[in-house]
Each structure stands twice: as C-alpha cells, then as structure tokens.
Structure 1
Amino acid sequence: MNTKCSVFIATSVDGFIARTEGELDWLTGGETSEVDEDYGYQNFIDTVDALIMGRNTFDKVLTFEEWPYSKKVNVLTNRSLKIPEKLSDVVVIMSGSPQEIVDQLSNEGFHHFYIDGGKTIQNFLKAGLIQEIILTRIPVIIGSGIPLFGPVGNDIKLEHVSTRSFKNGFVQSKYNVIPVAIQGH
C-alpha cells in the first residue's frame, strides 16, 4: 500500500494556525497580499486524492463564502454532524485512529491525502503517517491561538527540501518527515 500524507498550512511567525476562537483574519497578511499568488496551493492540491480534516476545521470552512475543495473531504469527528445537502456528494464523516482512516481510504483507492486541522495534523504526526509538510509563515505575531504543533512524545526530524520567499514577506518551506525507523527511535 503506497500512501502519502501531506500537510499544506500557514502559521503566524509564532506558530499559530488560528486565533483562540478559530479566526483567520491575520492569514492574508493585510494589504501586502499578492492578489494572483496561490503560494503553490494549486500545484499541491492537483497531486492530492482526498482531504482528511478535523471537525473544527470543517466547521470553519463551512463559514467561507464558497466551498474551496473539488476533492473528497473526510471529516474526522465523534460528534453528531449534519452535512449540508450541497456537500453530501463530496463530504464523508469518519472516525477511528489515523492508521485506520488511512487504511480505509487506501482500500477505497485513495493514495495521497491532504491532512488539515491542528489536532488532526498532530495526531497523524504522532502516528508517524505524515511524510511531507509545506509550511508558509505569515509575517505576523498574533501572541496566542491554536498552535500547529503540540507535544509529540519523541522528536520528529525533518529534512529541508526547499524554501521560497514572496514579495509580501510570506516564507514557505517544504520538509520531508524522516521516518522514525530511520531516525533510530
């Protein structure tokens, strides 16, 4: 089974993916955003078969003016969730361990997964399932909020692949996650 789990996410310079209440108003970089720049998102999403996101992230995406995904979205939750009718063909509710989720979706023919949402990313990292992290740092310090990373148990070593900077100060780095077996843990 040849699967890949990738993260494509932005953080404030101080490592937060959202404000404490989930607000993303700081993400655009204010007046300095590059209108026609997608920061490599389209190239990335073109390689993805399906998204796996946490419930809180899904709830936030539902507040966007338009549904931003053309791929299957798997929402991880143990709570009751009503999927809007217009999304019933593309959104599926799932629960289970990260490995169970990946195994089930792999058996359905999906191979490259976009992992999104703070807790979901943290759980997939702890399970050793993330192979690639594309992290864009927005030039703002928000002071508090929802962190991208939390306690991991053991160090997770990364191999730097590339870094790009944009005119507006955004800095994007791509990393490969070194498998634990190779790290010697």
Structure 2
Amino acid sequence: MVGRKTYELMPKDEFQKECQYYIFTHSKIDLKAPNIKATNEDPATFVKKLKNKNINQIMIAGGSQLNTAFLKANFIDEIYLDIEPYLLGKGIPLFQPIDTECELKLLSKKVENSTIQLHYKVIK
C-alpha cells in the first residue's frame, strides 16, 4: 500500500516485479508498471477485499494520511521505524493528529550503515 504522494516520489526501479502494489489516491495517476494498481477505497473496504483473496499480510509505505487511516481502522499490527543519520529542517510527520494513544512494544532493533531500524508490535 502506497499513498499517492509517496508513489510520485518513488523511482520506477524501486518497485519489485514480484510484488503487487496498490496506490491510494483520489486523483488520476500514471501507473509506472503492470503490477501497480490505483484505488480510492477506504482502508476497511480495501482490506476486506484482500482478505477475501486470502491476502493477510500487507505493507504500508505511505505518508501521514495513509498511515493514519490504517491506524484509525485498527489495521496496523507492527511498525518498522527507520532512523536515518540526517537532520531535516522540516519534514512530513509519520501520522496525522489522532484522538487516541497507541502503545507499542519493541520487538527488535538493528543498526546497519548508521541507520537504526526499530521493530514494534502495536498493543491492541
């Protein structure tokens, strides 16, 4: 799952041929490869369709809008958070403001080439 804004920033060669990609958008977009499809459905409707196809694991690589929509729908079980060795003057938040708190449990941490990856389980 990729949000439209994230999709537009991704180079075409970053999309793996063996994976199916779904872009969440309300706009008409240019699809970069045959394994990329666009949808304007809400997360609950879309996830229900995937479950009917026996797809039970999905990865979200979106911005704050898509991440928040899936979090509010209670569809996020795990979060991988990469901390890169760069300081930005400003950036895009991981989530939009929400009315609830979300407890996380650290499952693992990994350091590779100055990048730290934290793997969390969402406590429900």
TM over 0.5: yes
Is 1:60 matched up with 2:9? Answer: yes
Aligned residue for 1:170? Answer: 115
CA distance in 2, matches of 1:95, 1:106: 18
Pair 147,78 (structure 1): closer, same or farther in 2 beyond 3 Å: same
TM-score (norm 2): 0.88
Could you give the per-residue CA deviations for residues 66-125 of structure 1, whole angstroms, max 9, x where no partner exists?
1432300011111112324xx12x111112221111111121231110111112112111
4+ runs deviating over 4 angstroms: none
Question: Among the aligned pairs, what percent are the same residue?
Answer: 28
Q: 1:101 aligns with which of 39, 46, 49?
A: 46
Aligned residue for 1:115? Answer: 60
* Structure 1 letter corresponding to 2:45: E
Matches within 5 A, 1:10-159: 52-61=1-10, 64=11, 66-69=13-16, 70-84=18-32, 87-88=33-34, 90-118=35-63, 119-159=65-105
CA distance in 1, matches of 2:14, 2:110: 28
Could you give the per-residue CA deviations for residues 2-56 of structure 1, whole angstroms, max 9, x where no partner exists?
xxxxxxxxxxxxxxxxxxxxxxxxxxxxxxxxxxxxxxxxxxxxxxxxxx11111
TM-score (norm 1): 0.61
Q: Specify every segment of 5 or more residues in structure 2 that has no aligned partner in the other structure, as ranges.
A: none
Q: Specify every segment of 5 or more residues in structure 1 that has no aligned partner in the other structure, as ranges.
A: 1-51, 180-185
Q: How many residues align?
A: 122
> Per the alignment, in what secondary structure is the counterpart of residue 2 of structure 2?
strand
